[in-house]
Structure 1
Amino acid sequence: MSTVPVAVGPQTSVVEVARRMREEDIGAVLVTDGGRLRGLVTDRDLVVRVLAEGGDVGERTVHQACSEELVSVGPDDAAEDAVRLMRRRTVRRLPVVEDGRAVGIVSLGDLAAEGDPGSALGEISTAAPNR
């Protein structure tokens, strides 16, 4: 789990979110409002929900790109529970939420690196960024 997730407000520009993803070398950003988790936006969301739609990307906000149906786990939930939830909901990342506030993000890669570090996904997930 990443324990210092990047969070932005719902009115943040998608261009700013993409820049943050590039700078932080991450694929997901939390969307919070008043400290409360409101959504999650991924690099794929930006492509599918913003770029593919065309128009003036500079005018679009993260609220328009983030996943509306938020699925999360708690910090004490077992890794197996996270895997089952990811399978059932077909998601690759889950916010880790405690008392309505995000405390991290767990990804499919995190789980592979922990549970099967010798697997292709485990090795890819722990490799240095490809820049």
Structure 2
Amino acid sequence: MAELESNIGAVLKNKSGKIWSVSPSASVYEAIELMAEKQVGALPVMDGEKLVGIISERDYARKVILKGRSSKETAVVEIMTSGPITITPQHTVAECMRIMTEKRFRHLPVIDNGKLVGMVSIGDLVNWVITEQQQTIRHLEAYISGNAS
């Protein structure tokens, strides 16, 4: 399936291009507030220009709520996933889906030449596949009906 062989660079071009992040010293509350405001499920944790971790809603649920901690008094660095697995814009959609499935991740940071250039979620990848399949169907229907240009 061609849509699975598309690279992540193409997927990122369809996204807004904005990357929201938090610092390791930010409170978990601030991180969750930003996730809610931007409607994302995870944020890269940046120390200056360096990706040092990722914090997700799952981290919050499992490491703050279930442990009875305070989100306003807990720093992101205390619950983030350090040294996250990253991908490059050259990775394919299929490769990323495999990584996410095997590692049970929902988000992957995208690094190009040592710099964070985006984040992809499993939702981004599923939407990409669906959109590409719909385009293929439209092209095939046009071809079959003789309306292909």
Q: What TM-score, normalized by structure 2, do the two folds share? A: 0.73
What value does the CA root-mean-square deviation take over the aligned residues?
Answer: 1.9
- Structure 1 equivalent of residue 59 of structure 2: 45
2:34 equivalent among 6, 13, 20: 20
Q: Report which of the two has the higher share of helix.
A: 2
Superposed CA deviations along residues 22-53 of structure 1, whole A, max 9, x for unmatched, are 11111111101121111111111111111111
1:46-77, Cα deviation, whole Å (9 max, x unpaired) = 11111111133321011112112411110121
Equivalent AA in structure 1 for residue 112 of structure 2: E
Once residues 12 and 91 of structure 1 are traced to their aligned partners in structure 2, the CA distance between those partners, rounded to angstroms, is: 23
Q: Percent identity?
A: 30
After superposition, the C-alpha distances for 1:67-125 in whole angstroms (9 at most, x for unaligned) are 124111101211111112112212111111112221111111111111135xxxxxxxx
CA contact (8 A) 1:37 1:100 kept: no
**Structure exhibiting the larger radius of gyration computed from Cα positions:** 2
SS at match of 1:97: strand
Structure 1: how far apart are the matches of 2:67 and 2:101? 28
Q: State whether residues 20 and 43 of structure 2, in contact with CA within 8 Å, keep that contact through their aligned partners in structure 1.
A: yes
Name 1:75's counterpart in structure 2: 89
Structure 1 residue corresponding to 2:126, chosen from 91, 112, 127? 112
Give ranges in structure 2 of 5+ residues lacking alignment: 1-11, 132-149
Output the amino acid matched with 1:83.
M
Q: Determine if contact 2:100/2:106 at 8 Å carries over to the other structure.
A: yes
- Structure 1 residues 55 and 45, CA gap change in structure 2 (3 angstroms): closer
SS for the counterpart of 2:81 is coil
TM-score when normalising by structure 1: 0.82
- Given candidates 94, 97, 102, the residue that maps to 2:116 is 102
Deviates more, 1:38-47 or 1:68-77: 68-77
Aligned length: 119
**Structure 1 unaligned runs (5+)?**
118-131
